[in-house]
Protein backbone atom coordinates (compact mmCIF):
# COMPACT_ATOMS: atom_id res chain seq x y z
CA UNK A 1 0.00 0.00 0.00
CA UNK A 2 1.44 3.42 -0.94
CA UNK A 3 2.10 5.93 1.82
CA UNK A 4 1.47 9.68 1.59
CA UNK A 5 3.61 11.71 4.00
CA UNK A 6 1.88 14.99 4.92
CA UNK A 7 4.13 17.66 6.41
CA UNK A 8 1.80 20.67 6.62
CA UNK A 9 -0.43 21.01 9.71
CA UNK A 10 -3.19 22.81 7.77
CA UNK A 11 -3.93 19.93 5.37
CA UNK A 12 -7.67 19.12 5.45
CA UNK A 13 -8.17 21.24 8.55
CA UNK A 14 -11.62 22.39 7.39
CA UNK A 15 -12.81 19.44 5.36
CA UNK A 16 -12.55 15.68 5.65
CA UNK A 17 -12.76 15.33 1.88
CA UNK A 18 -8.97 15.42 1.19
CA UNK A 19 -8.42 12.65 3.76
CA UNK A 20 -11.22 10.63 2.18
CA UNK A 21 -9.71 10.96 -1.30
CA UNK A 22 -6.41 9.51 -0.07
CA UNK A 23 -7.97 6.81 2.09
CA UNK A 24 -10.42 5.64 -0.58
CA UNK A 25 -7.47 5.22 -2.98
CA UNK A 26 -5.47 3.30 -0.36
CA UNK A 27 -2.83 6.03 -0.26
CA UNK A 28 -2.04 5.50 3.43
CA UNK A 29 -1.81 9.08 4.79
CA UNK A 30 0.91 9.54 7.40
CA UNK A 31 0.96 12.70 9.54
CA UNK A 32 3.73 12.47 12.15
CA UNK A 33 2.71 15.80 13.74
CA UNK A 34 -0.58 17.65 13.76
CA UNK A 35 0.26 20.99 15.35
CA UNK A 36 3.34 22.29 13.52
CA UNK A 37 5.17 21.91 10.24
CA UNK A 38 7.43 18.88 10.13
CA UNK A 39 11.05 19.76 11.04
CA UNK A 40 13.68 18.82 8.45
CA UNK A 41 15.21 16.05 10.57
CA UNK A 42 11.82 14.39 10.98
CA UNK A 43 11.02 14.90 7.31
CA UNK A 44 14.21 13.09 6.33
CA UNK A 45 13.59 10.27 8.81
CA UNK A 46 10.07 9.59 7.48
CA UNK A 47 10.86 10.16 3.80
CA UNK A 48 12.13 6.62 3.21
CA UNK A 49 8.60 5.22 3.57
CA UNK A 50 6.87 7.86 1.44
CA UNK A 51 5.45 7.22 -2.02
CA UNK A 52 3.99 10.75 -2.05
CA UNK A 53 4.67 14.01 -0.23
CA UNK A 54 2.10 16.72 0.50
CA UNK A 55 4.03 19.74 1.76
CA UNK A 56 3.56 23.34 2.84
CA UNK A 57 6.51 25.70 3.15
CA UNK A 58 9.00 22.87 3.75
CA UNK A 59 12.19 23.08 1.66
CA UNK A 60 12.01 19.98 -0.53
CA UNK A 61 15.57 19.64 -1.76
CA UNK A 62 17.44 17.00 -3.71
CA UNK A 63 18.59 15.64 -0.32
CA UNK A 64 14.97 15.04 0.70
CA UNK A 65 14.22 13.32 -2.61
CA UNK A 66 17.27 11.10 -2.33
CA UNK A 67 16.14 10.09 1.16
CA UNK A 68 12.84 8.92 -0.35
CA UNK A 69 13.64 6.12 -2.83
CA UNK A 70 9.94 5.24 -3.24
CA UNK A 71 8.85 8.80 -3.97
CA UNK A 72 6.56 9.15 -6.99
CA UNK A 73 4.97 12.59 -6.57
CA UNK A 74 5.44 15.84 -4.62
CA UNK A 75 2.34 17.97 -4.00
CA UNK A 76 2.41 21.58 -2.80
CA UNK A 77 -0.53 22.27 -0.48
CA UNK A 78 -0.86 25.68 -2.05
CA UNK A 79 0.21 27.46 -5.20
CA UNK A 80 3.84 28.62 -5.21
CA UNK A 81 6.42 25.86 -5.61
CA UNK A 82 9.51 28.02 -4.96
CA UNK A 83 10.39 25.95 -1.87
CA UNK A 84 10.56 22.79 -3.99
CA UNK A 85 13.55 22.01 -6.20
CA UNK A 86 11.37 21.32 -9.23
CA UNK A 87 14.37 20.77 -11.51
CA UNK A 88 15.77 18.12 -9.17
CA UNK A 89 12.36 16.44 -9.02
CA UNK A 90 12.03 16.38 -12.80
CA UNK A 91 15.58 15.00 -13.10
CA UNK A 92 14.41 12.11 -10.93
CA UNK A 93 11.16 11.72 -12.93
CA UNK A 94 9.10 12.83 -9.92
CA UNK A 95 6.08 14.99 -10.90
CA UNK A 96 5.41 18.11 -8.83
CA UNK A 97 1.79 19.24 -8.51
CA UNK A 98 0.09 22.20 -6.85
CA UNK A 99 -3.34 23.82 -6.45
CA UNK A 100 -3.46 26.86 -8.75
CA UNK A 101 -6.26 29.31 -8.02
CA UNK A 102 -7.39 27.52 -4.87
CA UNK A 103 -6.50 30.40 -2.53
CA UNK A 104 -6.52 33.38 -4.89
CA UNK A 105 -9.63 35.05 -3.49
CA UNK A 106 -8.56 34.41 0.10
CA UNK A 107 -5.17 36.03 -0.47
CA UNK A 108 -6.56 38.95 -2.48
CA UNK A 109 -9.15 39.78 0.20
CA UNK A 110 -6.55 39.51 2.95
CA UNK A 111 -4.12 41.69 1.02
CA UNK A 112 -6.65 44.47 0.71
CA UNK A 113 -7.32 44.12 4.42
CA UNK A 114 -3.60 44.57 5.10
CA UNK A 115 -3.55 47.69 2.93
CA UNK A 116 -6.56 49.21 4.68
CA UNK A 117 -5.18 48.36 8.11
CA UNK A 118 -1.79 49.87 7.30
CA UNK A 119 -3.27 53.03 5.82
CA UNK A 120 -5.62 53.70 8.74
CA UNK A 121 -3.57 52.24 11.64
CA UNK A 122 -6.31 49.80 12.61
CA UNK A 123 -4.10 47.36 14.50
CA UNK A 124 -2.23 50.17 16.27
CA UNK A 125 -5.54 51.62 17.42
CA UNK A 126 -6.76 48.24 18.63
CA UNK A 127 -3.55 47.66 20.60
CA UNK A 128 -3.78 51.10 22.22
CA UNK A 129 -7.48 50.83 23.09
CA UNK A 130 -7.05 47.32 24.51
CA UNK A 131 -4.28 48.71 26.73
CA UNK A 132 -6.56 51.50 28.03
CA UNK A 133 -5.75 54.28 25.57
CA UNK A 134 -8.01 56.19 23.22
CA UNK A 135 -5.85 57.58 20.39
CA UNK A 136 -7.08 59.41 17.30
CA UNK A 137 -4.77 58.11 14.57
CA UNK A 138 -4.91 59.75 11.17
CA UNK A 139 -4.22 58.02 7.87
CA UNK A 140 -4.94 58.63 4.19
CA UNK A 141 -8.15 57.72 2.39
CA UNK A 142 -7.55 55.18 -0.36
CA UNK A 143 -9.92 56.85 -2.82
CA UNK A 144 -7.90 58.68 -5.46
CA UNK A 145 -4.61 57.08 -4.38
CA UNK A 146 -2.51 54.94 -6.72
CA UNK A 147 -1.95 51.26 -5.99
CA UNK A 148 0.95 49.54 -7.73
CA UNK A 149 0.48 45.80 -8.15
CA UNK A 150 3.65 43.80 -8.85
CA UNK A 151 2.60 40.48 -10.33
CA UNK A 152 -0.70 40.50 -12.20
CA UNK A 153 -1.88 36.90 -12.07
CA UNK A 154 -5.07 35.66 -10.42
CA UNK A 155 -4.44 37.35 -7.07
CA UNK A 156 -3.24 40.63 -8.55
CA UNK A 157 -6.30 40.86 -10.78
CA UNK A 158 -8.71 40.16 -7.93
CA UNK A 159 -6.93 42.77 -5.83
CA UNK A 160 -7.30 45.24 -8.69
CA UNK A 161 -11.07 44.76 -8.58
CA UNK A 162 -11.23 45.47 -4.85
CA UNK A 163 -9.05 48.55 -5.25
CA UNK A 164 -11.19 49.89 -8.09
CA UNK A 165 -14.25 49.55 -5.84
CA UNK A 166 -12.49 51.91 -3.41
CA UNK A 167 -11.81 54.40 -6.21
CA UNK A 168 -8.08 53.75 -6.45
CA UNK A 169 -6.00 54.26 -9.58
CA UNK A 170 -4.02 51.20 -10.63
CA UNK A 171 -0.55 50.50 -12.00
CA UNK A 172 0.56 46.95 -12.71
CA UNK A 173 3.92 45.38 -13.50
CA UNK A 174 4.14 41.86 -14.87
CA UNK A 175 6.48 41.03 -17.75
CA UNK A 176 4.53 37.81 -18.45
CA UNK A 177 1.12 39.44 -18.90
CA UNK A 178 0.25 41.23 -22.17
CA UNK A 179 -0.41 44.94 -21.76
CA UNK A 180 -3.88 44.50 -23.25
CA UNK A 181 -4.78 42.07 -20.43
CA UNK A 182 -3.52 44.54 -17.82
CA UNK A 183 -5.62 47.35 -19.32
CA UNK A 184 -8.66 45.07 -19.55
CA UNK A 185 -8.58 44.82 -15.73
CA UNK A 186 -8.49 48.58 -15.29
CA UNK A 187 -4.77 48.98 -14.65
CA UNK A 188 -2.04 50.88 -16.46
CA UNK A 189 1.02 48.77 -17.40
CA UNK A 190 4.25 50.11 -15.93
CA UNK A 191 7.90 49.18 -15.61
CA UNK A 192 8.82 48.25 -12.06
CA UNK A 193 10.89 51.32 -11.21
CA UNK A 194 8.32 53.66 -12.77
CA UNK A 195 5.59 51.97 -10.73
CA UNK A 196 7.57 52.37 -7.51
CA UNK A 197 8.13 56.07 -8.22
CA UNK A 198 4.43 56.77 -8.80
CA UNK A 199 2.50 54.49 -6.45
CA UNK A 200 1.14 55.52 -3.06
CA UNK A 201 1.00 51.85 -2.11
CA UNK A 202 2.73 48.80 -3.58
CA UNK A 203 1.51 45.22 -3.21
CA UNK A 204 3.68 42.24 -4.18
CA UNK A 205 2.30 39.13 -5.87
CA UNK A 206 5.28 37.48 -7.50
CA UNK A 207 7.73 34.67 -6.66
CA UNK A 208 11.10 35.58 -5.12
CA UNK A 209 14.24 35.66 -7.23
CA UNK A 210 16.00 32.27 -7.10
CA UNK A 211 19.22 34.11 -6.28
CA UNK A 212 17.71 35.37 -3.04
CA UNK A 213 18.10 39.02 -4.05
CA UNK A 214 15.15 41.07 -2.72
CA UNK A 215 12.97 42.58 -5.41
CA UNK A 216 12.51 45.64 -3.21
CA UNK A 217 16.07 46.22 -2.07
CA UNK A 218 17.24 49.28 -0.16
CA UNK A 219 17.67 51.42 -3.26
CA UNK A 220 14.21 50.63 -4.63
CA UNK A 221 12.56 51.17 -1.25
CA UNK A 222 14.35 54.51 -0.95
CA UNK A 223 13.15 55.48 -4.43
CA UNK A 224 9.49 55.03 -3.49
CA UNK A 225 7.30 58.05 -2.89
CA UNK A 226 7.55 59.61 0.56
CA UNK A 227 4.77 58.18 2.71
CA UNK A 228 4.24 55.14 0.47
CA UNK A 229 2.89 51.88 1.88
CA UNK A 230 4.49 48.47 1.25
CA UNK A 231 2.32 45.32 1.34
CA UNK A 232 3.69 41.79 0.99
CA UNK A 233 1.35 38.81 1.29
CA UNK A 234 3.30 36.75 -1.24
CA UNK A 235 6.69 35.36 -0.21
CA UNK A 236 9.43 36.23 2.23
CA UNK A 237 12.61 37.46 0.61
CA UNK A 238 10.86 39.87 -1.75
CA UNK A 239 11.64 42.81 0.52
CA UNK A 240 14.88 43.86 2.23
CA UNK A 241 13.35 43.78 5.70
CA UNK A 242 16.19 45.63 7.44
CA UNK A 243 16.02 48.43 4.88
CA UNK A 244 12.25 48.54 5.21
CA UNK A 245 12.53 48.93 8.98
CA UNK A 246 15.10 51.69 8.57
CA UNK A 247 12.96 53.63 6.08
CA UNK A 248 9.88 53.30 8.27
CA UNK A 249 11.93 54.56 11.19
CA UNK A 250 13.19 57.56 9.24
CA UNK A 251 9.66 58.43 8.15
CA UNK A 252 10.39 58.07 4.44
CA UNK A 253 7.88 55.21 4.11
CA UNK A 254 4.41 55.67 5.52
CA UNK A 255 3.58 52.14 6.59
CA UNK A 256 4.13 48.46 5.85
CA UNK A 257 1.95 45.37 6.13
CA UNK A 258 3.58 41.95 5.76
CA UNK A 259 2.26 38.40 5.95
CA UNK A 260 5.43 36.73 4.61
CA UNK A 261 9.00 37.02 5.88
CA UNK A 262 12.47 35.81 4.98
CA UNK A 263 12.58 33.83 8.26
CA UNK A 264 9.45 32.29 9.76
CA UNK A 265 8.37 32.36 12.53
CA UNK A 266 9.65 35.91 13.01
CA UNK A 267 12.82 35.96 15.18
CA UNK A 268 12.73 37.89 18.44
CA UNK A 269 15.36 40.34 17.19
CA UNK A 270 13.76 40.96 13.80
CA UNK A 271 14.01 44.68 12.94
CA UNK A 272 10.36 44.99 11.89
CA UNK A 273 9.19 44.04 15.39
CA UNK A 274 10.27 47.48 16.59
CA UNK A 275 9.51 49.45 13.43
CA UNK A 276 6.70 52.01 13.54
CA UNK A 277 3.48 51.85 11.51
CA UNK A 278 3.66 48.14 10.73
CA UNK A 279 1.11 45.35 10.46
CA UNK A 280 2.76 41.94 10.88
CA UNK A 281 0.80 38.70 10.49
CA UNK A 282 1.73 35.03 10.55
CA UNK A 283 1.66 33.96 6.87
CA UNK A 284 -2.09 33.35 7.03
CA UNK A 285 -3.47 35.10 3.96
CA UNK A 286 -4.60 31.79 2.47
CA UNK A 287 -6.21 30.59 5.71
CA UNK A 288 -9.90 30.40 4.87
CA UNK A 289 -12.03 27.26 5.13
CA UNK A 290 -12.93 27.61 1.47
CA UNK A 291 -9.32 27.79 0.27
CA UNK A 292 -8.24 25.01 2.63
CA UNK A 293 -10.90 22.66 1.32
CA UNK A 294 -10.17 23.47 -2.31
CA UNK A 295 -6.40 23.12 -2.17
CA UNK A 296 -6.56 19.94 -0.09
CA UNK A 297 -8.93 18.23 -2.50
CA UNK A 298 -6.97 19.37 -5.58
CA UNK A 299 -3.62 18.05 -4.39
CA UNK A 300 -5.08 14.84 -2.97
CA UNK A 301 -6.76 14.08 -6.29
CA UNK A 302 -3.53 14.66 -8.20
CA UNK A 303 -1.53 12.51 -5.78
CA UNK A 304 -4.01 9.68 -6.33
CA UNK A 305 -3.84 10.15 -10.10
CA UNK A 306 -0.05 9.97 -10.21
CA UNK A 307 0.10 6.96 -7.90
CA UNK A 308 -2.37 5.23 -10.23
CA UNK A 309 -0.15 5.95 -13.25
CA UNK A 310 -2.22 8.81 -14.68
CA UNK A 311 -1.14 12.34 -15.58
CA UNK A 312 -1.88 15.00 -12.93
CA UNK A 313 -4.40 17.74 -13.61
CA UNK A 314 -2.21 20.49 -12.12
CA UNK A 315 1.50 19.87 -12.77
CA UNK A 316 4.03 22.50 -11.74
CA UNK A 317 6.37 23.50 -14.55
What integer pLDDT is reported at residue 317 of this predicted model? 80
- Identify which of 97, 143, 90, 86 has the alpha carbon closest to the alpha carbon of residue 116: 143
Averaged pLDDT of the chain: 96
**For the sheet containing 52-55, what is the strand order?**
29-30, 4-6, 52-55, 73-76, 96-97
Cβ neighbors of 126 (< 8 A, separation 6 or more) are none
205 counts as catalytic: no
290 counts as catalytic: no
What integer pLDDT is reported at residue 39 of this predicted model? 85
What integer pLDDT is reported at residue 33 of this predicted model? 80
What integer pLDDT is reported at residue 88 of this predicted model? 98
Ordered structural domains, the chain, with CATH: 4-102+288-308 (3.40.50.720), 104-280 (3.40.50.720)
What integer pLDDT is reported at residue 190 of this predicted model? 98
Which residue of the set 220, 283, 305, 314 is catalytic?
A: 283
CA–CA gap between residue 178 and residue 297 (Å, rounded): 32
What integer pLDDT is reported at residue 31 of this predicted model? 86
What integer pLDDT is reported at residue 210 of this predicted model? 86
**Main-chain dihedrals φ then ψ at residue 102, nearest 5 degrees:** -65, -30
Percent of the chain scoring above 70 in pLDDT: 100
Which residue of the set 77, 154, 235, 314 is catalytic?
A: 235
What integer pLDDT is reported at residue 16 of this predicted model? 92
283 counts as catalytic: yes
pLDDT in tens, 189-216: 999 999 999 999 999 999 999 889 999 9
Mean pLDDT, consecutive 10-residue stretches, the chain (317 aa), reads 92 93 92 82 92 94 96 96 95 97 97 98 97 97 98 98 98 98 98 98 95 96 98 97 98 98 94 97 96 97 98 94
Which residue of the set 42, 141, 264, 274 is catalytic?
A: 264
Buried b (16+ CB within 10 A) or exposed e, 147-177: bbbbbbbbbbbbbbebbeeeebbbbbbbeeb
What integer pLDDT is reported at residue 4 of this predicted model? 96
Amino acid sequence: MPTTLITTPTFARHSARPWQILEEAGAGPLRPREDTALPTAELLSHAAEADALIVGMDPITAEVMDAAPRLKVIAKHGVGVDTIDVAAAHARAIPVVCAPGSNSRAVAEYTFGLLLSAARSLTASHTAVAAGGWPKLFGPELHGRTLGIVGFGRIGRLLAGYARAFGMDLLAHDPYVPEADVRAHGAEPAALDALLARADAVSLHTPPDPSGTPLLDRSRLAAMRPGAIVVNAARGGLVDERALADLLGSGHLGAAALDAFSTEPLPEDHPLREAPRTVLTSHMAACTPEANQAMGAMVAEDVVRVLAGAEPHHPAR
